[in-house]
Amino acid sequence: AIMGPTGSGKTSLVNLIPRFSDVSGGALLIDGTPVGRYDLHDLRHSIGIATQDVFLFSDTVDGNIAYGNTELSEEEVKRYAKMADVDFVEKLPDGFDTLIGERGTGLSGGQKQRMDDTTSAVALETEKYIQEQLANLDFPCTKIIVAQRISTTKRADKIVILDKGHVVDVGTHEELSNRPGYYREVFLLQNGMEEEREVV
């Protein structure tokens, strides 16, 4: 998981992985190999991204879910829709064959949000469900999650804290929530707790 205040470099870091931009100093390694040594097509073909600025295409619901993979079967599309908690599709006039316009024209605000948003604006129960689905994918993969909710980041094997373009801390939820720093501050804030200050 990657966390940090606004402007800390989270988006910039994530954009370096599929080489939407390249490093100007230092190195970014994937499995020990500098990212620049990977064939660009192969690299991007092996990465799936859900960004904060997602675009819905003028296509069917099925086409939007399967975007980029024309081989995806109807059963798989339905399975991924269920995993993403897009439960309203069956109630649409033509189900998965319902045409939607660019930016989700034809869907209600809540339906559009479920199609084009990540977990930042969903109910906690829905977020928990989606996180469980991600944790139980039936194929091996690395998941990099940029989030500000401790409930989203605490399952991560490693949490990286950024500030002003630099990695300032790395650890597990247990490690970071028990030592002073950005993560502990967010943890205490989101749990309605205040840091105990020693009175001298």
Instruction: Kindly report, residue by residue over 102-125, the tens digit of the pLDDT.
Output: 767 777 766 765 565 455 555 677
* Bridge partner residues of 161 (DSSP): 3, 169
Averaging pLDDT over each range in 46-50, 75-79, 171-175, which range is the top one?
171-175
3-state SS assignment for residue 154: coil
Q: Quick one: average pLDDT of 25-41?
A: 92
Q: Is 101 helix (H, G, I), strand (E, B) or coil?
A: coil
Distances (CA, A) of 56 to 36, 97, 100, 103, 147: 30, 15, 8, 5, 22
Tell me what the mean pLDDT of segment 18-35 comes to.
Answer: 91
pLDDT value of residue 117: 47
d(CA 126, CA 138): 20
Give the whole-angstrom CA distance, residue 38 versus residue 60: 34
Answer left, alpha or beta for residue 26, where phi above 0 means left and psi between -120 and 50 means alpha.
Answer: left
Distance CA 93, CA 9 (A): 42
pLDDT band at 192 (very low <50, low <70, confident <90, very high): confident
- Report pTM: 0.68
Q: How confident is the model at residue 196 (pLDDT cuts 50, 70, 90)?
A: low
